[in-house]
Structures are given as structure tokens and as C-alpha cells.
């Protein structure tokens, strides 16, 4: 199979070092005491990335498993849950909560803007009787970020448990779990960390553990049950066999993140340069504010379709970029400049290929994307 440069907003490119780590000989992780130490060490690296001293778990499943596990473990039938909705994933969080019997109230924002803090504050002054709130840090489909550093302390003011999806933010956007009072934050291996898809990880505060372990009703799942992980290290017991090769890869990928220096600043610099190129070309960014530094969403100009763009980019340039789904299907293209994708040369050749694709289909833009990008760097 011909190898394309994957410039999608996840999965991202996986470095050779990570692939080599995954190729190591395995042991029996359920019996080998050394692997319990290795798992703990990997969780420790994630704690560093998340800026937390709270417990961190790595689960065998894509990022959505983390979302559902948080909902399954924290929510009991009839619990009132606030779903902060200004994007496809934000709204979708409410669907997971409903599965476990939550009574959902939506705080709806503009899908092209980050959450308005004043509007949220006014809302909470009138209605704050919620057990927990769900929100998304980085809305991957729309390429915007929400001010989690302000939203979570506001929610905690009313005693509301905070559950944050930062799958596309962790490792690329600033995130300080303890300082920002996040009870549960969810991540995935395949985005800014640039490990292979298949792992989710989450931090769990003491308050969240208290709720999980003192429920009135049993958790309606085994695989999504976080309670069974509480004393894994003390008891040297995993609830199910860990995906050992994936964890080898994750550990190595985390080393690469830290080795590359200021990874947050690198994402900011690349993200800013991409947006500057888009705006100078007179293409239109989908978000109006709250721009993500890990993914850029661009409205598709008239006269060309996503299929035209995608197929030409793959067939002629061997570069894969993202489309979208749900209400944004066929309306935007997305470039993932996260993790191993977040390097000047990779973004440059992607934008150069996009320039050529537009030219091929007679789409006139102002100047050249790749030249504007290079100038901004």
C-alpha cells in the first residue's frame, strides 16, 4: 500500500522510534511485575503532560472509550448533567450521558465561536443544580478551542464536577488539570502525542473517585467501569489484559514530546502561521475566534468539493487531509498540524499541494498559501 503523508487532525504520523518501540518483544502483562512498574511509569509521564498529581489511567480503546467510561462511572439514572455545546463533539457528549440515564440540560453556544464566559456565568446564576458538566477543550471538527481555564473554575464555584474532552488539545494546547480544577480530563494516543490509535487515558480527581466509589446504583458496564481500576497498582491486578505493544509505543511517543522542547509554543507558532496564510489568501476560516493551534478548519470555496480536493491531494501529491461530518460534512477541509505533523516542512508541502489543487480546479485565491506560511514562520 502506498504511504501517504497523513496531515489529518488525527490519527497523525507515527515516528519510526515509536513504531520500533511497538515491535519490542512482549511479556505477559498480567503476571510480569515489571510491566506494572512500566505502566505506572507511563502514567507518570502523562501526569507531567497534564500537569496533575491526580491518578491517571490508560485504557484499551480509542478516545471515545474515555468519554463513555467517564459517563458510565460518574452518572446514575436521574442525575442532572449540564452539556456545554458549541460544537459537534460538545453536543455528542450529551448523547453518551443520556445512555446512562442522565437528565441533560444543554448550554448552547455559537458553533463558530468559543464559549462566551459571561453568557455561561449568567446561565449558571439562574440554573446551577447539576451533578456534573461535560465540555470539549478543542473541538476537532470546527478547529476551535474553549477557555477551559476559566470555564472549569466557574463550574466548580457551584460544586459541579467537570469532565473535559481534550483529545485534540493535550500536547498541543496549554492544559493545567489541577490548577484549572478539572475533575476528569480525557485524551487519546493518536493526536498530539502521535502514538498509534487505540488508547485513551484520563485523569481522575479525588472528588470524582469519591462519586465513582460511592454510588447508589451499580455501574452498568464492565469495560467502561473505572471503579475496577482504583487499586490496580497496590493489588498488582489489571481488570483486563493491557495492550502491551500500544503502551510501549505511547511511552516512547511521550519521550519524544518532551525531548522536542516547548511543544506548546511549537504548535502555537505553526497554528498561527497557517491561519495567517489562510486569511491572506482570502479563504475563510470556519471559526471566528478561539482558534485551535492543533487543527485548522477552512470553509470549502465555491466551485470545488471536498472529494475533488481530497482525491487530487492523495492521487497527485500523496498527502491526506481531513474533511468533516455531521453538520459540517462537505463544508470544510481540515489540516491537522499536531504532534509529528506539526513541523514547518510538512505543513509547507501540504499547503503547496493545496495551492496546486485549487489552481487545477480553477479556484482563484489571493497569492500562495505556502509562501504566506513560509513568510509567517
Condensed to tens digits (0 to 9), the pLDDT of residues 13-58 reads 999 999 999 999 999 999 999 999 999 999 999 999 999 999 999 9
Same domain for 229 and 180, yes or no, is: yes
Across 228-257, average pLDDT? 97
Same domain, 137 and 216: yes
pLDDT digits (tens, 9 = 90+) for 71-124: 999 999 999 999 999 999 999 999 999 999 999 999 999 999 999 999 999 999
Distance CA 34, CA 218 (A): 33
Last residue of one domain, picked from the residues 258, 282, 312: 258
Q: State the pLDDT at residue 260.
A: 81
Q: How many domains does the chain have?
A: 2
pLDDT digits (tens, 9 = 90+) for 141-171: 999 999 999 999 999 999 999 999 999 999 9
pLDDT of residue 4: 85
Distance from CA of residue 169 to its chain's centroid? Answer: 5
Do 44 and 169 have their domain in common?
A: yes
Report pLDDT digits (tens) over 314-354: 999 999 999 999 999 999 999 999 999 999 999 999 999 99
244 and 305 in a single domain? The answer is no
pLDDT reported for residue 1? 58
Asked if 84 and 183 sit in the same domain, the reply is: yes
Instruction: Evaluate if residue 377 carries a pLDDT over 80.
Output: yes
Domain ranges, residue 309: 5-9+261-376
User: What own/partner pairs with CB < 8 Å and gap ≥ 24 does 33-41 have?
Assistant: 33/236, 35/242, 35/244, 36/232, 36/233, 36/236, 38/247, 38/251, 39/238, 39/242, 39/247, 40/233, 41/251
Same-domain check for residues 195 and 53: yes
**Which three three-digit cell numbers place residue 160?**
459541579
Q: What proportion of the chain, given as a percentage, has pLDDT over 70?
A: 99
pLDDT mean over 192-212? 98
pLDDT at 261 > cutoff 90:
no
The pLDDT > 90 percentage for the chain reads 98
**CA end-to-end distance (rounded Å), the chain:** 34
pLDDT in tens, 354-364: 999 999 999 99
**Alpha-carbon span 53 to 65, nearest angstrom:** 22
Please count the CA atoms within 13 angstroms of the CA of 94 that sit on its side-chain side: 17
Binning pLDDT at 50, 70 and 90, where does residue 11 land?
very high
337: closest CA among 324, 326, 348? 348
Residues 300 and 165 in one domain: no
Specify whether 230 is located in the same domain as 332: no
Annotated binding site for substrate: 334
Instruction: Find the CATH number of the domain harbouring 231.
Output: 3.40.640.10
Report residue 133: phi and psi, to 5°: -130, 140
pLDDT higher than threshold 80 for residue 194: yes
Read off the C-alpha cell for 286: 470556519
pLDDT band at 239 (very low <50, low <70, confident <90, very high): very high
Same domain membership, residue 365 and residue 330: yes
Q: Of the residues 258, 276, 308, which one is the last residue of a structural domain? A: 258
pLDDT tens across 286-307, in order? 999 999 999 999 999 999 999 9
Residue reference for cell 507531567: 48
CATH number at residue 366: 3.90.1150.10
Among 225, 258, 291, identify where a domain stops. 258
- E strand map for the chain: 5-6, 55-60, 80-85, 103-108, 132-136, 138-139, 144-145, 161-165, 184-188, 199-204, 295-299, 319-320, 332-336
Tell me the binding residues. Answer: 334
Mean pLDDT of the chain: 97
* Number of neighbouring beta carbons within 10 Å of residue 81: 27
| Residues 272, 186 within the same domain | no
What whole-number distance in Å separates Cα of residue 170 and Cα of residue 133? 19
CA distance 157 to 44: 29
Residues 178 and 323 in one domain: no
| Nearest Cα residue to 201 out of 193, 189, 213 | 189
Domain shared by 265 and 150, yes or no: no
Q: Check: CB of residue 76 under 8 Å from CB of residue 217.
A: yes
Amino acid at each position: 500500500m502506498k504511504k501517504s503523508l497523513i496531515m489529518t487532525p488525527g490519527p497523525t504520523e507515527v515516528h519510526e522510534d515509536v513504531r520500533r518501540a511497538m515491535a519490542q518483544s512482549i511479556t505477559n502483562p498480567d503476571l510480569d511485575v515489571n510491566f506494572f512498574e512500566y505502566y505506572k511509569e507511563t502514567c507518570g509521564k502523562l501526569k507531567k503532560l497534564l500537569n496533575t498529581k491526580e491518578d491517571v489511567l490508560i485504557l484499551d480503546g480509542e478516545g471515545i472509550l474515555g468519554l463513555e467510561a467517564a459517563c458510565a462511572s460518574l452518572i446514575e439514572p436521574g442525575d442532572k448533567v449540564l452539556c456545554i455545546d458549541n460544537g459537534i463533539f460538545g453536543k455528542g457528549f450529551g448523547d453518551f450521558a443520556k445512555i446512562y440515564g442522565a437528565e441533560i440540560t444543554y448550554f448552547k453556544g455559537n458553533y463558530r465561536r468559543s464559549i462566551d464566559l459571561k453568557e455561561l456565568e449568567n446561565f449558571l446564576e439562574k440554573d446551577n443544580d447539576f451533578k456534573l458538566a461535560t465540555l470539549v477543550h478543542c473541538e476537532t471538527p470546527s478547529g476551535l478551542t474553549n477557555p477551559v481555564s476559566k470555564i472549569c473554575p466557574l463550574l466548580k464555584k457551584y460544586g459541579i464536577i467537570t469532565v473535559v474532552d481534550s483529545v485534540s488539545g493535550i500536547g498541543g494546547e496549554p492544559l493545567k488539570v489541577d490548577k484549572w480544577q478539572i475533575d476528569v480530563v480525557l485524551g487519546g494516543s493518536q493526536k498530539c502525542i502521535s502514538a498509534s490509535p487505540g488508547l485513551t487515558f484520563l485523569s481522575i480527581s479525588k472528588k470524582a473517585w469519591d462519586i465513582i466509589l460511592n454510588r447508589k446504583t451499580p455501574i452498568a458496564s464492565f469495560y467502561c467501569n473505572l471503579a475496577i481500576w482504583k487499586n490496580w497498582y497496590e493489588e498488582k491486578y489489571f481488570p483486563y489484559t493491557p495492550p502491551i505493544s500500544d503502551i510501549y509505543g505511547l511511552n516512547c511517543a511521550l519521550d519524544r514530546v518532551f525531548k522536542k522542547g516547548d511543544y506548546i509554543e511549537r504548535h502555537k507558532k505553526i497554528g498561527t502561521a497557517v491561519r495567517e496564510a489562510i486569511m491572506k489568501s482570502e479563504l475563510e476560516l470556519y471559526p471566528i475566534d478561539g482558534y485551535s493551534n492543533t487543527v485548522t478548519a477552512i470553509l470549502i470555496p465555491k466551485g470545488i468539493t471536498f472529494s475533488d480536493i481530497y482525491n487530487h491531494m492523495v492521487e497527485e501529491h500523496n498527502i491526506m487531509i481531513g474533511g468533516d461530518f455531521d453538520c459540517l460534512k462537505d463544508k470544510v477541509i481540515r489540516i491537522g498540524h499536531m504532534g509529528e505533523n506539526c513541523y514547518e516542512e510538512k505543513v509547507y508541502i501540504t499547503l503547496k499541494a493545496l495551492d496546486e489543487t485549487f489552481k487545477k480546479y480553477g479556484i482563484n485565491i489571493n497569492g500562495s498559501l505556502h509562501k504566506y506560511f513560509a513568510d509567517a514562520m
